[in-house]
Amino acid sequence: MRSTEILCTLGPSSFDKRVILRLDELGVGMFRINLSHTKIEDLPSAIAFVRSCTDVPICLDTEGAQIRTGNFVPDRIEMRENSLVRGYHYPVAGDTAGFNFYPRNIVGKFRIGDFISIDFNAVLARVVGEEDDAVVMRILHGGPIGRNKAVTVDRDIPLDALSQKDRAAMRIGSDNGIMHYALSFASGPADVDEIRHLAPKNAFIIAKIESSRGLANLADIARSSDALLIDRGDLSRQLPVERIPRIQKVIIKTAKEHGRTVYVATNLLESMVAQPIPTRAEINDIYNTLLDGADGLVLAAETAIGRHPVTCASMVARIIREYESRDEYSPLDYPMDAVSMLVPPHGGHLVQRHAVAGEDDMIARLPTLRVEDSTLLDCDQIAHGTYSPLAGFMRRETVESVIESNCLPDGTVWSMPIMLPVPKQSPVVGVGDRFALVREGDDMVYAYIDVTETYTLDLERLSEKWFGTASLAHPGVSRVLGGGDRFIAGDITLVERLRSPYSHYVLMPNQSRFIFAHKGWSKVIGFHTRNPIHRAHEYIQIKALEDTGADGLYINPVLGPKKPGDFLPGPIMRSYQAMLDFGLFPANKVVLGGFDTYSRYAGPREAVFTALCRKNMGCSHFIIGRDHAGVGNFYEPDANRRFIEGVGELGITPVFFDTIGYDPVTNRYAPINSNADMLAIDGTRIRQALRDNTSVPDWMIREVVQDVLQREIAAQGTVFDS
């Protein structure tokens, strides 16, 4: 359980339901509404909108005793060095000749000789004259200034702790049950008492330390408030920036001495306002801020106006997780996934079963078992953790538990028997033996197995339980009944992977997880397929992305052997690659990777199995269509949903879709049962058109994809498995 809080400021980049939901899912503990950048008339609707998205508490952050540039018309004004400009008592449009400040009466408190720093020291001016309606300022350091930007004067000008806008906002907050308030520019305990008097009873008051006066009265402010917030940005406008790290430590220490929560804000991930990846200095700063004792971290511009609000929050959560797990792992021997925000693997960790250096002589002396490629593909996936928590081929007890109860003997959900049939003409196999696994016509050792059990099974009963039928018309049944009834159990160790012409697409779980983490994804949708992409699949992929608000989509077609008449893997992968090449998927939202396994055609059981495999690959969600992993008419339309609802907690969220059709009137796609006039996207028709060297309408399968498939036929003679 994470103890360090994350506070996120809402703004134009994050006032979106999907973004707020993602921030909630990442564990954000409070949403901040900055009154300096929120119109008072917009505040009630802003509170209502956030409340409609999440139960996470809202904090109203006051303007406080702060001077700002006015809300003038241009986005920014370029101040020329050594020019004279006027600061007006009243609102003006704003240009290089003059502009106004806020509060409106503040100009009357400026005095000749005052140095005025504007917009985080972008511009430095000095008051050189006074007029009836303005002060005259000489620009000593030129540059751009924006509207509603912070202003600092080199002497202390007393200001009210709360502006009129703050008071109105607090009335709105109280009426709406807001119980968290942040006081900007707290200068002493009286300021805290004032906001506490206006806030609802038992409200949580955060005093922001962002001025030299606040720092001077730090202990008294700590005693009067419920928490302190260090605004390093505003502090650095009044104090030398090189002193801020030391001051941060002093404030945190003082907060701890008074039993107060302490938050740190400003420039945590400033580079991520524009870039998707932080600097190493920012990561180091956040980690050391946590070491200082900070109880919470506040994202401001990063989530309010930045391009990557969810990625920023995810990065902070990852750093917090790294910090809070620092005693669990050695920094020199650290699991790759230890601080990942991705869904944990099934069973808690990725199984890894690989031969180590120095085993060559032992392996060369082992007796051999000649096995099918499907067995070696299973070895590959076991060894790389795709089938976690399995470490080898199942014992009889495990198979029985899976086919009867859809779980492993320890209660972990699992739906697919993973078995090693005793090869024909095999040597005698006994418990405690170790065998090298090789393939027909190839003496290379791909794996070895440590035998823990041999057993027999009733294959017809197995087929009925596994596939729901014992019909030889079912390809999965045909495969099982065509083999022997004797099986070997035992853990495997991978020596060599099967070579694949599609190896550049294959991603093992640790690799897909690495890619997702690198992209800053934590909510990933997996998609399993054994077909080239057509419009129905395209629709459900994009719809799932939109409906879940996921960070990305992992398209993961099967590359291994399938039944005759199914599509070959090359055309499938090239169809998706064409979609990516032509920019037909949302930018930076899709990863394409191959799954080097074979189809079992086990319908609902395979739906669960393929979902758990994608969970191990790092997916939090998984698309399941009406006929996912089925074949012919062996499974009812709602069989997948009914089965999944009955197996228990998967740890990956299924995203169900019914059959999708096309409405020619609206030119849209939707579940076909919602409109009887919708046109079906017919896989049989697509296959026949490819065999006849004809085309189907673009609404069924994109022209660019058809072109890929037709070129494949011209080059290879077919796109189908034989």
Give catalytic residue positions: 529-531
Closest CA to 652 of 619, 626, 624: 619
Tokens of 68: 């700002």
Tokens of 230: 């260090």
Helix H or strand E segment including 641 = helix 639-647
Q: Which amino acid is at 254?
A: T
Q: Which residue has the tokens 């198979």?
A: 399
Q: Does residue 408 contact residue 414 with C-beta atoms inside 8 Å? A: yes
Phi/psi region, residue 82 (left: phi>0; alpha: psi -120 to 50; beta: rest), is left
Tokens of 528: 């399993």
Q: Which residues pair with 31 in a beta bridge?
A: 8, 58
Q: Does residue 608 contact residue 644 with C-beta atoms inside 8 Å? A: yes
Angle between helices 604-617 and 639-647 (to 10 degrees): 60
d(CA 60, CA 51): 14
Q: Could you say which DSSP state residue 105 is in?
A: G
Report CA-CA distances (Å) from 641 to 544, 608, 638.
16, 10, 6
d(CA 359, CA 355): 7
Q: Which amino acid is at 359?
A: E
Closest CA to 526 of 640, 622, 657: 622
Q: Does residue 66 contact residue 185 with C-beta atoms inside 8 Å? A: yes
Name residues whose C-beta falls within 8 Å of residue 335's C-beta, 6 or more positions apart in sequence: 329
Q: Does residue 680 contact residue 659 with C-beta atoms inside 8 Å? A: yes
Closest CA to 488 of 456, 445, 528: 456
Report CA-CA distances (Å) from 674 to 473, 655, 660, 671.
33, 18, 10, 6
Burial per residue of 327-339, b for 16 or more beta-carbon CB atoms within 10 angstroms, e otherwise? eeeeeeeeeebeb
Phi, psi for 265 (deg, rounded to 5) = -130, 165
d(CA 41, CA 45): 8
Q: Does residue 205 contact residue 192 with C-beta atoms inside 8 Å? A: yes
d(CA 294, CA 303): 20
Q: Is the dihedral of CA 600, 603, 604, 608 positive or negative?
A: positive
d(CA 621, CA 240): 49
d(CA 369, CA 454): 14
Q: Does residue 721 contact residue 566 with C-beta atoms inside 8 Å? A: yes
Q: Residues 95, 96, 98, CA angle at the centre, nearest 5°?
A: 70
